[in-house]
Structure 1
């Protein structure tokens, strides 16, 4: 399941696959909702906004701290300075958000200046394995910031290329190297805790969306589902156990025996990976019977002072016989997102997630804060946060979103490529033709066409997941040609264009 870069394919993919933009942790619908709430001066949006706009990181006078080398620790002749990148990533995101919401181009200009400065300056970071934490955590944060200002014309015309070239050379190279288990310390692929892989998945996925590269996006999705390291969901949530008293299924996390602070980081990053995918029409929240939620319920129950079963865990590097009480009650700004998705959008019963969301909001002063607003140190910059601003929903919002939710099923949805594993996509530009079948109304039940072998996808990746899997000719290039009819789904967005990868 290794990602193999094929230069011709990578350069071609943006021409044949469409992503929703902005479409990482924030999309246009979120911006519209926030504007509406702020205009009405409603909380918690208003309080969150006041906090964000009062930070030094969200002022258009903010000056970047770009340096050639970033180091998380002081060792081997270098001095720790990673806080420079943490702060700049937080600032770029906050400034991009202010531009989207307020419309003042000075904020976009300031965000672009940060990203371009790092694009022009950064050469490498960290010595030793910590480089993969920087590559993952700050990688997805910077990509999210760039996604917010991708349509700011000065950045789009020149700054984006400078930034993405640097990112590909530094962050992405390390992301892929790490997830392909090429690091010397990965002679055991379970060597690293789940959060290390989750942040690198988030970074690859975010950069894939930013650059319209479906190979990268699908690689991250596939690793989440079937990767062999601890970040893959079935290794991240190691055991399904019964909740005492109710018999409900809950999920023991891979880092539960380590400490609760890192366990909480896992759910913060799982939320990032799942939300970035969701905004592109791929439902990882519900994958494998909503395994993320099973883990969240286990974590929340224990960290609210209740007991949970624990299965002894050994992975060749560590061995735990009982759950760890270290950092019990730790919180991170991710529970607004998990609650909104599972309880409000999906209508799933998640009592401990709801309670932990309330606990987190109360602990943080009435709303979930974000980077730069709730403390210093690496742990406070591991996630962008701002859940009460970005993800909090009221009753009207729930009604609107529920009517357009992609899926409430726990059945894994197909992704947007013919093969689940991106390294199977080894077509050169001469290997296929691309043809448009038709533009059609997905709200009708009529047939939209007959065609032979190939990959079928639509002009937005979210709609492909809505087709019944048994009617999509999802075929690898070397499979026998087939003819099939695709019928539309009543749950999809209207008026999308269907394309066919016709193999020669």
Structure 2
């Protein structure tokens, strides 16, 4: 009787699994969100900030030079006036550009001022960060046109970094924090949480970075879990490893699955090597954005106590090494992108290099050479900002 009941339960479980597949796809992964969120905890933790601050106060390099660059930038200006819009309209290549540049740069300024507050303890910077965030949360209602998800990703990846530092380290108070949270939940999260499976991978990666940062600030476990699931599917579809087989993995939940479709999606590249990215043969600039988001998301997960680096470290390591080798002068072989690549990786290596080389002890000579030659990192005016200051050789 017991054996019969066990068999019946097995059949029922199988039927339930098949029904689940019919209704909603595969069962979700185990929860990724922490039992309790850590704050500040988007890209930078309090311990990381304290470490970097101590280095600046001691006048040590490269942190002091990075700090001076940040404080001397227009983003740290106390006379900055935010330029919010109710509707930010961004078309392909930001054409039209109705508020796109202003939104991204105001988000970076809010983050810059939040960092300036933490490093100086000058409340004027905290108040300026709050002023910028309050201006946007009182105004914006929507993003429109074809680049709306990407624009929401760029800005949405940056706003929570600023908000986390201000809300959890500034004792002067932030009455508008609730309205800012509502803005993130209602205006940004719906644009980014469902990903962009068929777009170039840097889209979905920065959208996912925004979703995870927003989830931390909102303490939204469901959004955090969904974003992590998207991330763990997208990273293998963005960076190739020979263990994947003859072809890269296709993007999850997309119609890109035949050999011809995958090669077309990989910019016509038909020969694959460890570290090659889906956008390598497009250009290194967009590829760098994708690599940056891979590292940023893993960094946030580590702060939150659910470390994703072990799951993606080989892909991140090889991606960094592959692209920095050519940036450093390695000759481009004929099999790669027709023998010519468009360089311009930019200052996107600091977070990943610190995590893999300095914390985990992985040898990364090409990435080390490139990273040290491009210090101090500034900002790309999209979503990367001041990572030499916050992450260079930071063990915390």
Q: What is the TM-score normalised by the length of structure 1?
A: 0.62
Aligned to 2:191: 174
What is the alpha-carbon distance in structure 1 between the residues aligned to residue 362 and residue 111 of structure 2?
A: 31
Aligned to 1:466: none
More helix by share: 2
SS in 1 for 2:318: helix
SS in 1 for 2:276: strand
Q: Quickly say closer, same or farther: Cα 1:79–1:91, change in 2 above 3 A.
A: closer
What is the alpha-carbon distance in structure 2 between the residues aligned to residue 76 and residue 34 of structure 1?
A: 35
Aligned to 1:322: 337
SS in 1 for 2:240: strand
Aligned to 1:336: 350
What is the alpha-carbon distance in structure 1 between the residues aligned to residue 390 and residue 113 of structure 2?
A: 14
Unaligned stretches of 5+ in structure 1? 3-13, 182-188, 227-231, 242-248, 312-320, 362-366, 371-379, 402-504
Aligned to 2:134: 116
Aligned to 1:97: 115
Deviation at 1:83, TM superposition (A): 1.2
Structure number with the bigger relative contact order (C-alpha 8 A, sep ≥ 6) is 2
Task: State how 1:389-404 maps to structure 2 within 5 Å.
Answer: 389-393=389-393, 398=395, 401=396
Aligned to 1:193: 200
Deviation at 1:150, TM superposition (A): 1.1
2:377 maps to which of 368, 383, 392 = 368
Contact 1:135–1:200 at 8 Å: present in 2 too? yes
Q: Quickly say closer, same or farther: Cα 1:169–1:72, change in 2 above 3 A.
A: same
Aligned to 2:382: 382
**What are the Cα deviations for residues 189-230 of structure 1, in whole angstroms up to 9, with x where unaligned?**
4x211100001100110011111122222222121113xxxx
Aligned to 1:28: 46
SS in 2 for 1:31: helix
What is the alpha-carbon distance in structure 2 between the residues aligned to residue 272 and residue 141 of structure 1?
A: 11
Deviation at 1:57, TM superposition (A): 1.8
Task: State how 1:44-193 maps to structure 2 within 5 Å.
Answer: 44-73=62-91, 80-128=98-146, 130-151=147-168, 152=170, 155-156=173-174, 158-177=175-194, 179=195, 189=197, 191-193=198-200
Deviation at 1:309, TM superposition (A): 7.0
Contact 1:337–1:387 at 8 Å: present in 2 too? yes
Aligned to 1:233: 235
2:359 maps to which of 320, 345, 348 = 345
What is the alpha-carbon distance in structure 2 between the residues aligned to residue 336 and residue 310 of structure 1?
A: 29
Alignment of 1:216 with 2:223, yes or no, is yes
What is the alpha-carbon distance in structure 1 between the residues aligned to residue 106 and residue 289 of structure 2?
A: 21
What is the alpha-carbon distance in structure 2 between the residues aligned to residue 60 and residue 251 of structure 1?
A: 42
SS in 2 for 1:150: helix
Unaligned stretches of 5+ in structure 2? 1-19, 22-32, 244-272
Number of matched residues? 337
What is the alpha-carbon distance in structure 1 between the residues aligned to residue 94 and residue 77 of structure 2?
A: 36
SS in 2 for 1:71: strand
RMSD of aligned Cα (Å): 2.8
Deviation at 1:261, TM superposition (A): 1.5
Task: State how 1:237-386 maps to structure 2 within 5 Å.
Answer: 237-240=239-242, 250-288=274-312, 290-307=314-331, 322=337, 325-328=340-343, 330-361=344-375, 367-370=376-379, 380-386=380-386
**What are the Cα deviations for residues 383-434 of structure 1, in whole angstroms up to 9, with x where unaligned?**
23212211112xxx65xx5xxxxxxxxxxxxxxxxxxxxxxxxxxxxxxxxx
What is the alpha-carbon distance in structure 2 between the residues aligned to residue 30 and residue 77 of structure 1?
A: 38
More strand by share: 1
**What are the Cα deviations for residues 247-299 of structure 1, in whole angstroms up to 9, with x where unaligned?**
xx832111112112211221122121111112112222221562211221112
Q: Quickly say closer, same or farther: Cα 1:193–1:39, change in 2 above 3 A.
A: same
Q: What is the TM-score normalised by the length of structure 2?
A: 0.78
